[in-house]
Chains A and B, each alone.
Chain A
Amino acid sequence: MQHLRQLEDQSVYILREAYKHFDNLGMLWSMGKDSTVLLWLARKAFFGHVPFPLLHVDTSYKIPAMIEYRDRLAREWRLNLVVGQNKQALAAGMNHTMGRVECCTALKTNGLKQLLENKGYTGVILGVRADEEGTRAKERYFSPRDKHGDWDFRDQPPELWDQYKTTFPPGTHIRIHPLLDWTEINIWEYIKLENIPFIDLYLDRGDGTRYRSLGCAPCTSPIKSTAKSVDDIIAELRRTTVAERSGRAQDEGRGMELLRKDGYM
């Protein structure tokens, strides 16, 4: 438990730095386990309040149970929920059969860019973790993006001790990553410790499968599992040697590096 409290203290510190330094701040919430833990940490940091809007980039292909869960928590926790959608691309018929990278770029990357631009956010908090895949392992807690949303990974700012990059020229914005040091197991251990409500798609509901990672319905597949509780999930993860995102089609080949360089989360 001590290690979870250490992770919590660090994330809370980062969230408070973000809130102090950015006037126009938003937090991305995909309703998955990571961004929901992030939302919970915000309630920790601000003593039950969430003093910035939660942003959801809706691709329209999300699993319906996720939307129900989103609206229920938004109501119960009195969240300021802002939903963005790339309506133009959807009207033009964009879907995963037109190419996975193309679809993610249009509906998620560009959907996010439009949302950030329309609302003028200068800081956006995301629940990415370093252990998810290789390019995320190289992220900073405070990571600048230029006005096109591009990530210059060749020249990232130094981060020394608890000092982060919080000033930047006009036109850039900062992505803030409070969960970088958390692993998938830490996320579930913390959900258990704090009793955080999560979507039951992560559990086996009788058919011997569960989702390990949640995304759009067409591009996310469940894994074989009989885990029916958080304890079962933690036990399963301690045994497994299968990568978390093996059910996520966008990670094939160099998909993630290309997507993230151009501003994917």
Chain B
Amino acid sequence: MTMTEIKPPENLNIVIVGHVDHGKSTLLGRLYADTGSLPDGKLEKVQAICKQQGKEFEYAFLFDAFLEEQEQGITIDTARTFFMWKERQYIIIDAPGHKEFLKNMISGAARAEAALLLIDALEGVKEQSKKHGYLLSLLGVRQFAVVVNKMDLVGYRQDVFDGIEKEYREFLGQFKAVPSQFIPVSAKLGDNIANRSATMSWYGGPTVLDTLSAFSKEAARSEQPLRLSVQDVYKFDARRIITGRITAGRLKVGDHLVFSPSNKRANIRTVEAFNIEPQPTEGQAGQSIGVTLDEQIFVERGEIASHQEHLPSVSTAFRANLFWLGKRPLEKGRKYLLRVATKEVDCEVALIHRIIDTMDLAQQQGSSTVNKNQVAELTLRTKAPVAFDLSASFEATGRFVLVDEYDIAGGGIITELVHDDQEFLREEARRRDFAWVKGEVTVEDRAQQYGHRAAVVLITGGRHTGKSFLARNLEGRLVADGRHAYLLDGENLRRGLDADLSEEERGQTTEMARRYGEVARLLTDTGLIVVSTTNPFGLAYRESSQAIRTLVHPAPVIAVHMSKTEEEPPPNTDVVLSGPTDFDAATARILDELKRRGVLAQAIGAKPIFQYSI
């Protein structure tokens, strides 16, 4: 006796998209009815309701669940429906075609691994047919078939079908999208849905149902280099578990992980799981996983773990293709929250290169806003460095959303890394960190011993604003409180470490700032809170503070700006003080900020004894 091989069941998410009224919900209803996938009595129940309300039965009513949808005869929101066919479980997502509900269509399509795109044979290629085709490509749905519906209304004529195929293929070809099939159907009458049509003998291709079976499960991303975006860090018991989703590649116990953008490193000690025996020792793309490390390093949500040979990009700027769904237009210069995988960071739109008209793919330049439902090419600039990939190489870490106030208002894919002015210093920091030789005492040992993490307090501002006074006052107060703090004065570098610099080099900030940053980096590695001012750099404090930030990263920098006049503080300033001021009050504000940022642990009891754990 031979055993028939049973394929393991799999799930496949399919979305049905297309212009409003081209028959998406009808197609879905028909597919269910003709495969016997409807629950008993469902068809009869809907037919009875239609009769009672005096309207013609439509298959669409099976899934347009809301009264309002049935009354208006349109789908408002995406529905998930399920059916089994030949050992495969399909989740079919019925997306609305009305342009008002584009955000619902996008929510549906973003979940899909393959798509059916419907075009009405009588109406032909319409606005949303094109927009949806373009968006599928932008959303990363590369597997799709085009279904030409309502063939019964054009007398099942092959020339009509061929005309639509030609026109639409030309449109798709402009952005290199290639459908697997064009299928002529009548969803209403059931032609070429589950059963072959007797009226279109000129068509020899597959039915809709055959086409679904031919869609393949998304290729495993496990063969790519590792990407694990950190979702959270748990300490429910003795284990300190780093959790996250592996979005590409694989990992195993003993692997050396690098976290970007902090450049922290450690080896995987265990892979943790509940109710799995024996305990797993590896993980691969798709899994929500938990690992413990051999060293207690401080990593945060939003970092991307990878192997050292294949690091993600790190920058404060990238170029992207974006679609906008927000109620108010996207504006150049406005601040938004950027979310890439699990990272959240403030950003602004640095440049809108062009708006793309999805009807004819015409490009319009010189706009400073992107309206709802428009697609644009733009450059985003983030407040802090972000780890990411180009979407052509890595799907999950190459796409992002923008949050406007409380709402996800747009999404897009990263097309290009934009080099920023910190690139060389960041590369220096990366090379230096990877080669860093450590002693037996870890950063976390020091933090627990000292009752605080290492940090840099950087006081910026013009001349004679009281920066030095404040720095001294702060250092004194920290040490009096039992903290380990040190005032790093630029003057002490100038005559020593910088003594070899020429007059000209001293006139420029670049090399001086680099040396100052590297010294601050060494001091933070000793666990100190480094108090510093940009005095040695005079009016070039903006450039120098950026360089110092890049070099001491990931140690937190608390930026304090002092000014006598109303002026724009440097980017990322935490505390703004107006010019020579009440130094004790100013010091208290900085201490509060240090507590808020988790640098200072709270004292326990009357004596300054601190408990610090990461």
Contacts and interface: CB of A to CB of B under 8 A. Distances in A.
A153 B101 CA distance: 12
A159 B107 contact: yes
A6 B10 CA distance: 9
A130 interface: yes
Given A48-B274, A243-B42, A130 B80 contact: yes
A154 B66 CA distance: 10
A167 B403 contact: yes
Contact of B39 (A130, A138, A243): A243
Contact of B66 (A47, A138, A169): A138
Nearest to A189: B9
Contact of B89 (A48, A160, A183): A183
Contact of A159 (B66, B110, B272): B110
B122 interface: no
B243 A44 contact: no
Contacts of A7: 11
Question: What are the 3 tightest A-B residue pairs by CB atom distance, in nearest-first order?
Answer: A134-B65, A243-B39, A130-B80
6 contacts: A6-B11, A130-B79, A131-B81, A134-B66, A159-B107, A180-B80
A168 interface: yes
A49 to B, nearest CB: 4
Nearest to B94: A137
A91 interface: no
A246 B41 CA distance: 10
Q: Is the interface of B mostly helix, strand, loop or mixed?
A: mixed
A157 B403 CA distance: 11
Contacts of B341: 162
Contact of A3 (B11, B40, B42, B408): B11
Interface stretch (B228-236, B363-371, B465-473): B228-236
B205 to A, nearest CB: 29
B485 interface: no
Contacts of A45: 288
A3 B89 contact: yes
A242 to B, nearest CB: 5
Contacts of B411: 158, 160-161, 163
Nearest to A133: B65
Given A154-B68, A158-B408, A6 B286 contact: yes
Interface in A39-85: 43-49, 51
B275 A194 contact: yes
A167 B104 contact: no
Contacts of A137: 63, 65, 79-81
Given A46-B236, A153-B77, A243-B39, A9 B8 contact: no
B336 to A, nearest CB: 12
A241 B36 contact: yes
Centre residue among B39, B65, B273, B325 by max chain A CB count within 10 A: B65
A180 B81 CA distance: 10
Interface in B321-360: 325, 339, 341
A226 B65 CA distance: 33
B11 A16 contact: no
Given A9-B245, A19-B232, A157-B408, A2 B82 contact: no
A46 B239 CA distance: 11
A254 to B, nearest CB: 6
B40 A242 contact: yes
B236 A135 contact: no
A49 B236 CA distance: 7
Contacts of A47: 234, 236-237, 239, 241, 272-274, 290
B406 interface: yes
A138 B106 contact: no
Contacts of B66: 134-135, 138, 153, 257
A197 B39 CA distance: 28
Contacts of A135: 65-66
Interface in B101-115: 103-104, 106-107, 110-111
B232 A160 contact: no
Interface in B55-107: 63, 65-68, 76-82, 89, 91, 103-104, 106-107
Contact of B406 (A1, A168, A241): A168
B180 interface: no
B399 A12 contact: no
A131 B76 contact: no
Given A153-B76, A154-B76, A49 B237 contact: yes
Interface string A237-251: 000011100100000
A163 B408 contact: yes
B38 interface: yes
B231 A16 contact: yes
Contacts of B231: 13, 16-17, 20
A5 B246 CA distance: 14
B39 A241 contact: yes
A5 B283 CA distance: 12
A165 interface: yes
A240 B245 CA distance: 36
A46 B91 contact: no
Contacts of A134: 63, 65-66, 79
